[in-house]
Every structure is written in C-alpha cells, then in structure tokens.
Amino acid sequence: TGDFSQVPPSLTNPYTTDPLLDRALSRLLPKKYYHDVSKDLKSFGDRIVSEIDQLGRQAELEPPKLEQQDAWGNRIDRLIVSPAWYKLKEIAAEEGLISIGYDPTLDPKYRRIHQLSKLYLFGPSSGLVSCPLAMTDGAAKTIKELKLDEKYDELKYAYDRLVSRNGKEAWTSGQWMTEKKGGSDVGGGCDTYAKDMGNGKYLLNGYKWFSSAIDADVCLTLARIIDKNGNVILGSKGLSLFYLPIRNSETKKLNGIQMVTLKDKLGTRQLPTAELLLDGVEAIKVSDEGRGIPSIANMLNVTRIHNAIASVSYMRRIISLARDYSTKRVAFGRKLNEWPLHMATLSKLEVECRAGLLFILEAGRLLGLQESGEATPTEILNLRLMTPILKLYTGKKAVPLISEGIECFGGQGYIENTGIPSILRDAQVTPIWEGTTNVLSLDVLRVFASNKNVLGAFEKHINEMLTNTTNDESLRNCAEKVKSALKFLIVSLSKLSEGNNASLMQIDRG
C-alpha cells in the first residue's frame, strides 16, 4: 500500500565512530598531546554532525555561477558562490584546519598528525572547501620552505592570513599550473609569459585552463620569463614561480584577470573552477629563474597528501553510511548485517580504507619529523618517495571502492536526494588532479633515479614497520610475504632506474 518507508542511514560523529583513528592516534602521539587532540576531534566530530554536513550539502545544491557582465555591458566577472561555501571556509579557519599544521605553540613533530586527522573528518562534509584548504596549506608550506616570508613583506602578510584562525580575515590560495597544452606536462605546456617591470614586479600574460577555488585571495603560478632580447627558455627549465594577489587590495578589482568561464564538471560541482585569461597580472617572482617546478613541488607534495585524505575520507564516509544502513535495511527476512555475504563485502572495503588511513598518518608522522628538523635523511627520502605513492594508491582505490559502497544501498545509492551519489562523483577527481596515476608513477621513478640511497631507505623503513607492528605469528608470516613482494618491487625499480642519466621518458619506455 506504499505505507512503508525505509529508515535512512545516519551520520554519526566521524571521530568517535571511526574504527581506527582514535587507536592509531593514541599509538602515535604522546599521552598529553593525544588527550588534547582527541578532545578537539571529538568536539569537531559533533560539529560535523550538527552543522557542517548540512552546509556541505547546501554547497552541493547551490553550485557557483559566474556573471560576466552587468546590465550595461560592463565586464564584472562576478562570482556567485553559495553562502554555505563561505561559511564552511570560515569554519575551516576557526577550527584551525590549516593553522594547526603551522602553530608555533604546538609541537611540530605532532601537529601535522592532528591537522591531517581533522581534515580527514572534515573532507566528505566540507562542500569541497577541502580543495582550497589543500592549496592554502601548499602555499603556506612553499612560503616557509623557501623562506619567502623573510624575503618579502607581502609574503609575510599573506602567510599570516593563510594560517589565520580568524574566519573573517583568513585567506585562501589558488594553484594555477594547468594550461590547455599540458596539465601533466607543465614544462611543455606552459604558455604564460612574464615581463620584468623593473620595479620588482612582473606582468603575466597567459591562459590558465583549470583554476579551482577562484574566490581565493592569492595564488602561486608558473610563467616563462621573457629576457631583454625578447627570448624565452622552453621546457620546464624555463619556468619560474610567481606569487600574486587575485584582487587589488584597495579597489578589490581583479588583478589583470578575466574569468572566461566556469567549468561544467562531472563532480566537485560546489567548487568554482574557472578558465582564466591573464592579461597583465602583476606578480612577484618568488623562485630563482628556471626553478619554478622544483619550487612549486613544495606545494604539490602537500596538496597530494590532502588529496589522499580526500580519497580515504570519501571511502570512510560511504562505508560508515553503508554499515549503519546494514543495521536498518531488511532483505529476505533479515537485516543486511545478518547476511554473511554482505558483511564480507563491507569487510573488504574496511580493510582498504583502514590501510589508507594508516598510510596518511604515516605521511603525517614523517612530515612532522621533517618540519621539526628531527627527520633523518632516510626519513626525508621516505617522505618524498611515499607522497606520490600515497596519492596515486588512494586515488586509484577510491573510485571502485566507493562504487561498491554505493551498491551496498541497492537502488537508493543511485538516488540524488539521498546525497550519496555526490560521493562517487567527487571522488572521481582524486586520481586525476594533483597528478594522474601514471604521472605519479613516473614521479616515483624520478625519486629512485635521483638518489641511490632511496632503495636502502625504503627497505629500512619497511623492516622497521614490520618489526614494530606485531608479534602474532600468522600476521608476521603475512608481513614477511608483503616484504618479499616489496623487495621484488624495489629490485625491479632499481633496475629500471640504474642509468641515472636516462631521462624519465627513457625509463618509462624501458
């Protein structure tokens, strides 16, 4: 008679109901630190359920629009974004989602673990504000690593805002690398040119093909400097890194930028991603000439960790909802969680997701060591090596896992106003942006090719992890098998990267 209605899955505090995070943190953090972090994550988890998740949903339902002209034909490029998006940005600042990673009052060895855990809780409810946060973190890291805050007042001012906890004052940053000719091959594809104005400023002209979170305040981008004879250096060695404010601080007008169009995307619809014409953008050169790519790599290596967080947090969300649903939905006379086959399906997803979370926390641990100055050269190498692997592995796993998770809801998983389909749509970007799987695989080879010690460092790391993990005999046997497989991988990679002079493309062909 149609009078049955299914009890929907409900979102519970993502920290207190996470099956692994709390235990992992109690192992990774000293007791007092763990206590504070745990308290913060618990209250943030409550806020996600009571406030943040609805805002994320609102941002999805009110996608951004671009008004290019006013009624009189004046070019205005007015971006209209959901109020929920701005509120989420404010909450992100207040909650310290960037600042925790840089807060001088916190122990630099552990604060990244805290920050990354918080971002992991935030991800699926964030209305894609996770994207500008990733780039903001990347910009702050670049400023710190290159000591730009010590060299330029403007960058010091920007840094303080990027890491601010004041929701009304905090800034976000963009990351404009991709052009029509190349998003992977940035060196080959970059057609943005920089002219020295002689006053410490450059004027940039070019076209940026994908520019996400275009409501940002500042940006890091790449361009080719035109020398006094009008020549440029081609390839990645011709690129330098530039910092720019997106609007003039007084007039609030766009800084020589035209928003040509907003992209119509499969997912990430909450996120304003624009094509931009750079038509005389005032910018500051912040790297040595020709060192643009290695300089922006500081940003890339951080945004790639954020990407992994996004991938695994989407996995976590779909599994948590599916587990809850399995306690509510009845089929063939039993609740779904009483059917062993359904539980076996969920268990497989759990294993993958938990492995992803541990991998992220390991990256956070190594990043904390690097930033506290306590990392050994081996740990620094391992962080460099693991970052692309973490990003490519979690991104690649997320899409099929979430697809399986959607199937756990049957037909309801396919219905838009459950909010479930957007998880799959949004996750589909994680293997693509911030470097596709193949491009990151080549980055792994780049690391092997550039440093002979990386092989030993990796093996040492694996050995230490296995030694510290367990005394259980069967698990140890299993771990030994994993180790043999990794050894095989290391030896194969070592053979591939033997000729250090070979270009990556040659390695690839090999």
Percent helix, strand, coil in the chain, to 5, is: 55, 15, 30
Q: Coil, strand or helix: which one is 94?
A: helix
* Interface size with ligand FAD, residues (CB under 6 A): 23
Tokens of 388: 């692309």
- Geometric angle at alpha carbon 299, from 296 and 303, rounded to 5°: 140
Bridging pattern class, strands 65-69 and 193-196: unpaired
* In the complex, least distance from residue 407 CB atom to ligand MFK, rounded to whole angstroms: 24
* In the complex, least distance from residue 221 CB atom to ligand FAD, rounded to whole angstroms: 8
For residues 144 and 370, give the distance between their C-alpha atoms in angstroms, rounded to a whole number. 13
236 binds ligand FAD (CB under 6 A): no
Least Cα distance to 305 among 386, 391, 432, 238 occurs for: 391
For residues 243 and 151, give the distance between their C-alpha atoms in angstroms, rounded to a whole number. 13
371 binds ligand MFK (CB under 6 A): no
Q: Coil, strand or helix: which one is 437?
A: helix
Give the helix/strand (H/E) hosting 381.
helix 377-407
Least Cα distance to 123 among 323, 402, 311, 358 occurs for: 311
Helix 377-407 with 437-450: angle, nearest 10 deg: 160
Question: Can you say whether residue 147 is alpha, beta or left, with left for phi > 0 and alpha for psi between -120 and 50 degrees?
Answer: left
Candidates 135, 361, 420, 444: give the one binding ligand MFK (CB under 6 A). 135
For residues 172 and 260, give the distance between their C-alpha atoms in angstroms, rounded to a whole number. 21
57 binds, among ligand FAD, ligand MFK, none (CB under 5 to 8 A by kind): none
300 binds ligand MFK (CB under 6 A): yes
- Give me the 437-476 binding string for ligand FAD, x by CB under 6 A, dash otherwise: -xx--x----------------------------------
Residue span binding ligand FAD (CB under 6 A) among the ranges 164-172, 204-212, 295-303, 306-314? 204-212
Helix 21-28 with 31-47: angle, nearest 10 deg: 150
Tokens of 412: 């309801």
Find all residues with CB under 8 Å of 352, minimum gap 6, and list them.
Answer: 315, 397, 401
Q: Name the residue nearer to ligand FAD (CB basis): 221 or 382.
A: 221
433 binds ligand MFK (CB under 6 A): yes
438 binds, among ligand MFK, ligand FAD, none (CB under 5 to 8 A by kind): ligand FAD
Handedness of CA 181, 184, 188, 193 (dihedral sign): positive
211 binds, among ligand FAD, ligand MFK, none (CB under 5 to 8 A by kind): ligand FAD
Tokens of 472: 């259980």
* In the complex, least distance from residue 503 CB atom to ligand FAD, rounded to whole angstroms: 11
Q: Coil, strand or helix: which one is 194?
A: strand
Candidates 82, 99, 126, 178: give the one binding ligand FAD (CB under 6 A). 178
Candidates 99, 126, 130, 273: give the one binding ligand FAD (CB under 6 A). 273
Q: Name the residue nearer to ligand MFK (CB basis): 29 or 59.
A: 59
Residue span binding ligand FAD (CB under 6 A) among the ranges 44-52, 122-130, 323-331, 430-438? 430-438
* In the complex, least distance from residue 189 CB atom to ligand FAD, rounded to whole angstroms: 7
508 binds, among ligand MFK, ligand FAD, none (CB under 5 to 8 A by kind): ligand FAD
Bridging pattern class, strands 218-225 and 193-196: parallel
189 binds ligand MFK (CB under 6 A): no
Q: CB count, 10 Å around CB of 147?
A: 10
Residue span binding ligand MFK (CB under 6 A) among the ranges 79-87, 360-368, 410-418, 427-435? 427-435
175 binds ligand FAD (CB under 6 A): yes
Tokens of 501: 């002079």
137 binds ligand MFK (CB under 6 A): no
Sequence letter at residue 238: G
Least Cα distance to 353 among 407, 409, 397, 305 occurs for: 397
98 binds ligand MFK (CB under 6 A): no
182 binds ligand FAD (CB under 6 A): yes
Candidates 38, 99, 175, 422: give the one binding ligand MFK (CB under 6 A). 175
Q: Name the residue nearer to ligand FAD (CB basis): 284 or 439.
A: 439
Q: What are the residues binding ligand MFK (CB under 6 A)?
A: 130-131, 134-135, 175, 177-178, 183-184, 186-187, 212, 236, 293-294, 297, 300-301, 303, 306-307, 310, 433-435, 439, 443, 446, 450, 504
Q: What are the residues binding ligand FAD (CB under 6 A)?
A: 175-178, 182-185, 210-212, 265, 268, 273, 429, 432-433, 435-436, 438-439, 442, 508
